[in-house]
């Protein structure tokens, strides 16, 4: 019995005691075992079969922080919703969802055409796209990092001092030349520059880039260029990575570890 299971293409992945693994044999059925529901996003109920929407509709999930993104199909439950995007299926808790909309193509919000995500702020969307293009990054990855880091709150400040949309620590911001970390343009410019540095350092391995963004590149190097065994970092990589479409085995957590 697994804690969680999902399909990515023809491969079935499952989580057992915090460890992600894949099955190398054919799976005929994934059957849920019902128990009292936990609130954490990563303990979602077993995945129901995708519900296809009309090809003539555009399906958007709006989060409570103002972000929204397009999906291929969605299946709502009492506790939240499974959304399906390409070969990826992800569960989102009900409290994170503001609404789910199905729009005719002609009535999709202006500026959304050719893009399947939005922060809910056209200026921030433009900054994400332009800086991602300049730094040769996927804008959707930058969008996911900001959504996870600050929920698009420009003046976000963490208890450990991380600042702004991309939650830059003061020392990192100074090194990147960011003088106004609570200005969206400066913060995103610095954050995407940092992501580019990490991409170059770790050969484009997104899981290591995300781990470094959360815990610092020193921690990743300390553990042999692997995701450090910090619970916070493992959850960070898992949450963003699953939405982005990453897959692969991650070792078990053993401690929380410091924020970079």
Active site residue ranges: 149
Q: How far apart are CA 185 and CA 126, in angstroms?
A: 10
Q: How far apart are CA 82 and CA 47, in angstroms?
A: 7
DSSP string, 192-213: HHHHHHHHHHTTT-HHHHHHHH
Q: How far apart are CA 62 and CA 242, in angstroms?
A: 18
Query: Which residue's entry shows tokens 């519900």?
Result: 51
Closest of 162, 254, 255 to residue 213, by C-alpha: 162
Q: In the 8-state DSSP scheme, what is residue 4?
A: E
Look at residue 217 and give its three-state secondary structure: helix
Beta strand segments in 48-125, E: 58-63, 68-71, 73-76, 80-85, 88-93, 97-103, 117-118
Q: What's the Cα-to-Cα distance from 141 to each of 17, 56, 106, rounded to whole Å?
A: 27, 27, 27
| Dihedral angle sign, alpha carbons of residues 231, 246, 215, 145 | negative
* Burial class, 239, CB count within 10 angstroms (exposed 0-12 / middle 13-18 / buried 19+): middle
Closest of 260, 219, 227 to residue 246, by C-alpha: 227
């Amino acid at each position: 019995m697994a804690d969680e299971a999902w399909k990515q293409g023809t491969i079935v992945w499952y989580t057992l005691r915090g460890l992600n693994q894949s099955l190398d044999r054919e799976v005929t059925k994934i059957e849920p075992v019902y128990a009292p529901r936990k609130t954490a996003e990563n303990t979602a109920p077993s995945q129901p079969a995708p519900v296809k929407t009309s090809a003539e509709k555009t399906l958007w999930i709006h989060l409570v922080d103002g972000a929204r993104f397009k999906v291929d199909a969605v299946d709502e439950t009492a506790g939240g919703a499974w959304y399906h995007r390409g070969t990826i299926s992800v569960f989102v808790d009900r409290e994170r969802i503001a609404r789910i909309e199905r729009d005719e193509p002609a009535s999709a919000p202006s500026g959304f055409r050719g893009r399947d995500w939005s922060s809910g702020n056209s200026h921030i969307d433009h900054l994400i796209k332009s800086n991602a293009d300049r730094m040769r990054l996927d804008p959707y990855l930058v969008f996911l990092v900001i959504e996870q880091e600050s929920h698009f709150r420009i003046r976000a400040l963490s208890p450990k001092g991380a600042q702004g949309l991309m939650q830059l620590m003061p020392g990192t911001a100074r090194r990147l030349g960011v003088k106004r970390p609570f200005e969206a343009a400066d913060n995103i410019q610095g954050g995407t520059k940092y992501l580019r540095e990490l991409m170059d350092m770790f050969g484009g391995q997104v899981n290591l880039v995300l781990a470094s963004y959360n815990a610092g590149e020193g921690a990743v190097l300390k553990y042999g260029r692997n995701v450090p065994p910090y619970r916070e970092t493992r959850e960070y990589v898992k949450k963003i990575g699953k939405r982005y479409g990453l897959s692969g085995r991650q070792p078990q957590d053993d401690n929380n570890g410091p924020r970079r």
